[in-house]
Structure 1
């Protein structure tokens, strides 16, 4: 990249410095104080600590709650548990390591740990991405009934949990075998795929385009299509039951949930996808690599706001969590929004 020479196999100098002594700026050897004020690193460490504590607790709570309450172990909730496992994976292996490294102001754990952190964060993020798409497909199949009297069974739910991990492995393994690579990114305290350098040896450009198309464009298109069809079905159902207050309320609640889900997806992954695409299409332009920290942090923050959107907005999950944590029994909230949607859609025309 113009003005940003590349060095070593495991990192590159993000801004022009005294290149006669590269080791003096290595993100694996010395604090990266040339990239930002000490307070910036401490603030990022505090944010990562929040993501680690919040992401770990809320996702562990989701998994334990599902185990404890039999009524939560429905086929449609399997994928939410899968999402919680993926979020927990990123929180434990990604946010915790990032916190420790931001606190020390460089990737103190070394290049091997960088590859491990980059791989684990990427696979967890990709599972999360594809799980969100599977959630949308499941709701579309159950509510909109595009396959007629299709019955969602256990093996469908298990397949919906396995597929995201297969897709995630296909996306996260290549950098370990020479197609792109995992290197320090942003403030050089967390690791991810190499979006930045022009390197024919690693074919970074083709890998970035692969990730953009396969791991962002396809899941996002799937989510938009499925939730778009769901909203159309709900509008028809609400119109057919115009005199039913409960139907109108369910339609409004689900519409709000769909908007929040799509917005959450874009907030989490839109900046990362946009940044990587900009990098590919503006190879000759210089940029401040420190800005890469922003999309990286937003993607890790999904470990907190994904369960808030997909679990805590589910009334059934929420009431069970309140009962388990506080001993509060809220029977009035036991019916989840998804079950309300099913009831509303029953008046929609059969496909």
Structure 2
């Protein structure tokens, strides 16, 4: 864009690359297809991927909630947290992925500025709840297996309190852009909405909000997850060493080690691209970048609605057995009933 672009700061959007026009409003992502940012094939490919995330993510997470509602055996403290994760994933897939499918297919944000703010807020809220639920799961496993509080018993009431915490804290973290601390605007290829990482307008104080999200909504949960799972692995390795001749103990230690690695990698795949991109933007103001690549972090975070339940739910024998029974593919709940107390003790 020409030099006077710096004087034009639209209230509802900001395209952070040079454009050959004096009137940025003429290229508004709420009014016209954004073909000046990428080819039609890119938009349609993103639309297809978002449709996949919407269909698969909605199906898996809705099935998780339905299985828990139907089977009393699934109503344990850990599974309450998994259901909380599923509800957050449903919010992301139904609001974020479906909206993104429609807008990518249209090649611009067809629903308007107000819907952009709503979508950005709802997806951020669901993403934060999902993120903090992963930290709570790690914390619960640490309390139950490592017993740092001695004889303290983690009960369903404690799990429900933790679930409430994830929603309250996530609401606190996602609401500020609605009230002037940053703002929700189209991001990447301008077909999905999120917090404003781009501009330095003092009116919105975007940089401080980005640092707040990075610190309290990424670094703290990641630290919690790494600490809890590290302690879990240490405890299991000590148990395996004490029972060096026990094949079952050694097998359990190997299985848990693999699962911990998968869980940590899954968390990083979900959120590291988004957090890294936001920090890069804050520290490289004014530097050009390809908006096609800028859309990737948002896509990865929305895709968590699929691979989170795969890691945390489908690898859970209780849920897997109940889901297969509900889908008419088996009746293994009774077969797995002996494992229930083991998995949640």
How far is 1:2 from its partner?
11
- Cα RMSD after superposing both structures: 1.8
Of 42, 45, 48, which residue of structure 1 is paired with 2:47?
45
Per-residue CA deviations over 1:292-340 (Å, capped at 9, x if unaligned) read 1000000000000000000001111111111111240235545659935
Aligned to 2:232: 230
* Worse-superposed segment, 282-291 or 193-202: 282-291
Aligned counterpart in structure 1 of residue 64 of structure 2, from 52, 62, 65? 62
Q: Does the aligned pair in 2 maintain the 1:136–1:226 contact within 8 Å? A: yes
Aligned partner of 1:87 among 66, 80, 89: 89
User: Is the 2:17–2:288 Cα contact (8 Å) retained in structure 1?
Assistant: no
Q: 2:278 pairs with 276, 279, 294, which one?
A: 276
Shift of 1:15: 2.3
Q: Determine the structure 2 residue equivalent to 1:345.
A: none
Task: Indicate whether 1:339 and 2:342 are aligned.
Answer: yes
**What residue is the counterpart of 1:349 in the other structure?**
none
Q: In structure 1, how many angstroms separate the alpha carbons of the residues matched to 2:106 and 2:181?
A: 30
Measure, in 2, the Cα distance between the counterparts of 1:248 and 1:334.
Answer: 23
Give the corresponding residue for 1:295: 297
CA distance in 2, matches of 1:176, 1:183: 11
Which piece of structure 1 moves more, 267-276 or 15-24?
15-24
Counterpart of 1:221?
Answer: 223
Aligned residues of 1:251 and 1:341 also touching (Cα < 8 A): no
CA contact (8 A) 1:31 1:104 kept: yes
Give SS of 2:23's match.
helix
Q: Deviations over 1:194-232 (max 9, x none)?
A: 011111110000000000000000000000000000000
TM normalised by structure 1 equals 0.93
Which deviates more, 260-269 or 2-11? 2-11
- Cα distance in 2 for partners of 1:108, 1:205 equals 28
Structure 1 gap segments, 5+ residues each: 343-351
Please point out which of 90, 104, 110 is paired with 2:106. 104
Match status 1:126 vs 2:128: yes
SS where residue 183 of structure 1 aligns? strand
Look up the match of 2:201: 199
- Report the TM-score, using the length of structure 2 for normalisation: 0.95
Alpha-carbon distance in structure 2 between the residues aligned to 1:265 and 1:180: 25
Aligned positions, number: 342
